Amino acid sequence: MSQLATINDGVLLLSLPQEILYMIWEKALTTDTGEIYLFEEKGNIQVAAADKMPPGGRDKQFEGNIEDLPKAFNQIQNTCQALRRQTRGLELQYNKIVSNGWSFDSFLSQEDISPIRKKYFKRALYDNIRNVTLVGKFKIDHEPDENVLHRLLRFGRRHPEAVIKVRVWNLAMHSEPKSTKPKDKKQAPRESLKGFVSFALCIKEAVRGVERPEWAVGRQGTKWIGKWRRGKDVSFMNVRKVRFFPYDTFDEEKVLGLLKGGAAYANDLIALYGSIEEALAAIKEWYEEGI
């Protein structure tokens, strides 16, 4: 330790007991909100604290004045090599990560790079991830991009301490109606219990191996399950801490109204769970805990 302190121009920080250092790192590298943003800028992954997700363009990169970008959060690692070894990636462990899905996929794709590159791209960044929420309209939907979905699952299996929350595009109770006439006034969003439940049950079967009830089995759903699995079995798909969430926000009043109003699949869902209250609780759990 005395040698490390000498390297750091006489600063005695690294001579402290390791448990004290851990407390210092956690205090220094936890943001005020407990959230941190992972985004891309000119093809490079950045990790920063900000009030909201830094804006990006079509190619997931920032478009605008570069001075408006938040600075990288962990500056301790840039002090010296000894502190870099101690603190590299800890900001990812101490905070909840929010990331555009495409940016996180780019980040994950670099985990499989060559050993020489891996030395510089820093194993600690992956090993320290604990909680990630993916946002944006990236391609996890009825027919997800195989590479994107399966890369998330492989990452979750290699890093079992990481919780990855994936918002599924098209898994939403409230969807925008499609108008066939450009001049038509925009209609109010329609509520579709059947479409939502059907897709949710397909995800449960594709990922968790829970077979759909007979009333929910259909050709379209079987196609979706095939698109999610792409030839993989449940042992590959079922990664417990990779959780799939609806894209919209849970509205208890509207969902209860659909169940009580006899919407398509309402009676079947109530029979499956035993009561309206239990059916409502099951849907709420999908929103809060994921599938």
Q: How confident is the model at residue 164 (pLDDT cuts 50, 70, 90)?
A: very high
Mean pLDDT (whole number) for 16-37: 90
Closest alpha carbon to 269 in 207, 194, 206: 194
CA distance 268 to 213: 9
Looking at mean pLDDT, say which of 5-9, 53-57, 171-175, 248-252 comes out highest: 248-252
Q: How much is the pLDDT for 279?
A: 96
Lookup result for tokens 């690294």: 14
Asked if 243 and 289 touch (Cβ cutoff 8 Å), the reply is yes
**pLDDT above 70: percentage of residues in the chain:** 78
pLDDT higher than threshold 80 for residue 187: no
Closest alpha carbon to 48 in 65, 62, 63: 62
Q: How many Cα atoms occupy the beta-carbon half-sphere of 42 within 13 Å?
A: 4
Strand partners, 245: 167
CA-based torsion, 261, 263, 268, 269: positive or negative: negative
Q: What is the pLDDT of residues 196-220, one digit of tens each?
A: 999 999 999 999 999 999 999 988 9
Q: Please state, rounded to an integer, the average pLDDT across all residues of the chain.
A: 82
Q: Give the DSSP H or E segment for 190.
A: strand 190-191
Closest alpha carbon to 12 in 109, 89, 82, 84: 82
Do β-strands 190-191 and 174-175 pair in parallel, antiparallel, or remain unpaired?
Answer: antiparallel
The tokens describing 53, both together, are: 């997700």
Mean pLDDT (whole number) for 280-288: 96
Asked if 89 and 162 touch (Cβ cutoff 8 Å), the reply is no
